[in-house]
Structure 1
Amino acid sequence: MPTTLKAKFDTRREAEMTVERLVQEQGIDRQDIQIATDGADNSVGDEKAGADTAGRDPTPPSREDAALAGKIVVSVAIADDARATEVKAAFNEFDASDVKE
């Protein structure tokens, strides 16, 4: 039965890693996946990650202007229950919270 699964992530990086896992390893079509903020404001998540954090020298220091305005929501449209198990496993692998159908 068709449904949409949604989950929230603390960082944009975790959300994007989940999408790549679903597309590359589970064969889910990118058009069936959406990434959005959990609210009206632009956000990279609740925590700094990736380019917003400091790296090793000579990388520039961490940014102080990261839009930390809320979690990132990933929604996946699926056609059957077998896919739901795969999607939930990917959500869990990248520390999703508030997983809903």
Structure 2
Amino acid sequence: MKLIAKFDTRREAEMTVERLVQQFDIDRAKVLVTADGDANTAGVEEAGSDNAAGEPSPEARDDAELNGKVVVTVEVADDAAASEVRAAFDEFDASEESVK
């Protein structure tokens, strides 16, 4: 089964993937991160490395690709793994969760 969730920021999606791989031992090859649409995206709002850095730092950038949500799809074999994936989705504020 495939579990799918959408995230507002790239950071939330990345943190979810790290939780799944490092804590729950989900095979990284079973996790897919994509844009929700045709355009490249870092989410719908700036977060993490898309935010301005503190001093001293290079000049601030304003070119984050904010073209829609970031989608994380995880393929799992059983209900126990699905439960862990759902917990990670919830922990990092996923929206629009679905199962295929």
Task: State if a TM-score over 0.5 links the two structures.
Answer: yes
Residue 50 of structure 1: how far off its partner (Å) = 1.8
1:79, CA displacement in angstroms?
0.2
Secondary structure of 1:24's aligned partner: helix
Amino acid at match of 1:73: V
Q: What is the percent sequence identity of the aligned residues?
A: 58
Which TM-score applies when normalising by structure 1? 0.93
Segments of 5+ residues of structure 1 without an aligned counterpart are none
Q: How many residues align?
A: 99
Whether 1:95 and 2:98 are equivalent positions in the alignment is: no
1:36 and 2:27 aligned = no
Structure 2: segments with no counterpart, 5+ residues: none
> What CA distance in whole angstroms lies between the structure 1 residues aligned with 2:51 and 2:71?
21
Deviations 1:42-76 (A, max 9, x none): 00000111222112211235421110000000000
- 1:49 alignment counterpart: 47
Question: Which runs of structure 1 show a deviation greater than 4 angstroms over 4 or more consecutive aligned residues?
Answer: none
